[in-house]
Structure 1
Amino acid sequence: MNKGLKFFGIITSIGMLLVLLQGAVVTKTDSGDGCGETWPLCFGELVPSSPAIATLIEYSHRLVSGLVGLLVVILAIWSVKKLSHIRETKFWALMAVLFIIFQGLMGAAAVIFGHSNLVLALHFGISAISFATVVILTTLAFEDGKQRPAPRVKRGFRGYLFFVLAYTYAVIYSGAYVKHTGSTYACDQFPGCSGEFFGFQAGVQMTHRIAAILLIVFLFILLIQSLRYRKESRMLAGSGITVFLLVLIQATAGVLIVFFPDAYIATALTHSLVVSILFTVLCYMGMIVTRNRAY
């Protein structure tokens, strides 16, 4: 059922993943000004005539983002047409379109007008949400015609899950803020900070580290609570296990960034990729626990 939609959803999800990783590369290689202050043209040209490495990185990101943005809109419309009988479809389709547009506008505004680090850090957070919306729309296509997971959970569990979801987004934002303030190597040790905790950049770095450690604790608690519903829903319990394993990988990548600066791009991209997948799984968990009334 809906084979074409499933395939298209997978392609679009892969495209969104590529956009997310390209955006991370742009940020982590400081290539945001690779096309100057012109958008959508690059230094006033449709195709840059003498591109430097930074220009190639930024220009390819713009091209792929534009193409994938079109795919997202098509996926949203197609999903509403084929999956309108599924309650969540219209919501996630609307979110997919709104956030892909918002993501593009923020990227364009950053190029043309420039922004504070607070606003620039939000761009990655928006990208994470966009990625989640596309993956969940694709998941709905695969659920169609099957018994959809709908665990009946306690109100306390549901409330805690949404708290963790919101907190995870805050941690994603703080991590992006670390990069945009140039605080990545403000602390060249772990877990300490060379006795310079009270400097601005060191403070930003240590705040993110503390927030990330708390996230591990919160997700461990979520894991324990999810396992209590393993008879009710293997999907919910499995998702709880998944997000905890992902946060451990995420934390490991973060530590490796500190100790292996020569491998920064690889570890930093892993760091960005894993947290985006983690956030997506949490969004999916949030969706399935709202399918039945909490008790």
Structure 2
Amino acid sequence: MGKHLRWLSMGSAIGMGLVLFMGALVTKTESGEGCGTDWPLCNGKFVPAYTIESMIEYSHRFVSAAVGLLVLGAAIATFMKLRHSREAQLFAYSTLFFTILQAILGALAVVFPQSDAVMALHFGFSLVAFSASLLLVIGIRTGAYVPSGSRGASGKGQAGSEDVHAPVMTRNMIKLIWATTIYSYVVVYIGAFVRHTESVGGCLGWPLCNGQVVPSLEGATGIAFAHRVAAVLLLILIAYITYKSGSQGNASKLLRSSARWALLLTVLQIFSGASVVWTLASDWYLLTALIHVVLVSGLFGVLCYMSVLAWRSYKKG
């Protein structure tokens, strides 16, 4: 597999992660209007006046454009080097498609003010692009796109390759993983909606919400509480997957390892969400909010990888 493809795919994944991070920074610092209603220029200038808001917003645009070129290069390299792999091409082209889509949505949000519900989708599309780029990198690094008959005669890594190409899963596990991954996207969307509606202060205190187990479900409180309940249910689903994958002796090693990572990231994500509430009125709020975004992005990426393993198992069966 070509070195150019490896570097381009890795650069795309890292770049999309940076785009996600900077997008969250724009939202949290309320820098979305730092360039006014101009796009791609900033307040009518190629080099904007130095204000924190304009520099944050314009830097986000610049990085997004640079990463877009990397994503395009990775898609072309994938077409050239991995024509035999529909899965690799799916991830490369999906990354390109959702990168363009989120860029268009971001530009429209600058020129034409969008609703909070639509702006939450902006983060959601960026997350899908990041996850697709991550899956391409993982597939390349694990040898999943190397045809089984093309492995070296020494057989090095053969067991691992077979596990990647055809992981062992039950049909119930496959369906559960797919359902959990789809549901996790819903949880992420609700979280993005919390950010864009500035509802994070709707539930003060943790684990109770405004000192109550079930608060009044109106306005910001209802939105924030819905996100908490959704996150707890996601934790239960992932914990169950982790338990089932560990209790089945013939389960894929990759599945067991991925499930444990997903569980760890879910727990960390929940506590980082709690830290966002605890630091709401302090100087640490921005840091904890960004950590929360990083963790949930990693969690969704792991769940997407588990879904890919489930798909390979489904095709084998």
* Shared fold per TM-score greater than 0.5: yes
More deviation in 139-148 or 235-244?
A: 139-148
Amino acid of the structure 1 residue aligned with 2:24? A
Q: Does residue 18 of the first structure (1) align with residue 39 of the second (2)?
A: no
Q: Does residue 255 of the first structure (1) align with residue 274 of the second (2)?
A: yes
Listed one character per residue, the Cα deviations across residues 200-222 of structure 1 (whole Å, up to 9, x for unaligned) are: 00010001000011111111011
Partners of 1:27 and 1:187 lie apart in 2 by 19
Q: Kindly state the Cα deviation for residue 230 of structure 1 after the two structures are TM-superposed.
A: 5.6
Partners of 1:293 and 1:169 lie apart in 2 by 22
Amino acid of the structure 2 residue aligned with 1:266? L
Correspondence list, 1:153-232, <5 A: 153-194=169-210, 197-229=216-248, 231-232=250-251
Partners of 1:230 and 1:76 lie apart in 2 by 38
Q: Unaligned regions of 5+ residues in structure 1, if any?
A: none
Q: Secondary structure at the match of 1:172?
A: helix
Look up the match of 2:168: 152
Q: Does residue 239 of the first structure (1) align with residue 258 of the second (2)?
A: yes
Partners of 2:249 and 2:22 lie apart in 1 by 37
User: Given that residues 26 and 57 in structure 1 are in contact (C-alpha distance below 8 angstroms), is that contact kept between their aligned partners in structure 2?
Assistant: yes
Q: Kindly state the Cα deviation for residue 136 of structure 1 after the two structures are TM-superposed.
A: 1.0
Identity, % of aligned pairs?
A: 39
C-alpha spacing 1:260/1:293, structure 2 compared with 1 (3 Å): closer
Look up the match of 2:116: 117
More deviation in 78-87 or 227-236?
A: 227-236
With normalisation by structure 1, the TM-score equals 0.95
Q: CA RMSD in A?
A: 1.6
More deviation in 3-12 or 280-289?
A: 3-12
Partners of 2:79 and 2:247 lie apart in 1 by 34
Q: Kindly state the Cα deviation for residue 108 of structure 1 after the two structures are TM-superposed.
A: 0.4
User: Given that residues 183 and 204 in structure 1 are in contact (C-alpha distance below 8 angstroms), is that contact kept between their aligned partners in structure 2?
Assistant: yes
More deviation in 270-279 or 152-161?
A: 152-161
Listed one character per residue, the Cα deviations across residues 106-152 of structure 1 (whole Å, up to 9, x for unaligned) are: 10011111111111111111111010011111122213346251213
With normalisation by structure 2, the TM-score equals 0.88
Amino acid of the structure 2 residue aligned with 1:6? R
Q: Kindly state the Cα deviation for residue 237 of structure 1 after the two structures are TM-superposed.
A: 0.8
Partners of 1:292 and 1:187 lie apart in 2 by 42
Which structure has the greater CA radius of gyration?
Answer: 2
State how many pairs are aligned.
294
Q: Secondary structure at the match of 1:95?
A: helix
**Equivalent position to 2:290, from 251, 263, 269:** 269
Q: Secondary structure at the match of 1:32?
A: coil
Partners of 2:303 and 2:83 lie apart in 1 by 23
Q: Kindly state the Cα deviation for residue 229 of structure 1 after the two structures are TM-superposed.
A: 4.8
Look up the match of 1:52: 51
Q: Kindly state the Cα deviation for residue 225 of structure 1 after the two structures are TM-superposed.
A: 2.1
Q: Unaligned regions of 5+ residues in structure 2, if any?
A: 152-160
Q: Secondary structure at the match of 1:56?
A: helix
Listed one character per residue, the Cα deviations across residues 232-259 of structure 1 (whole Å, up to 9, x for unaligned) are: 4211110010000000010010001111
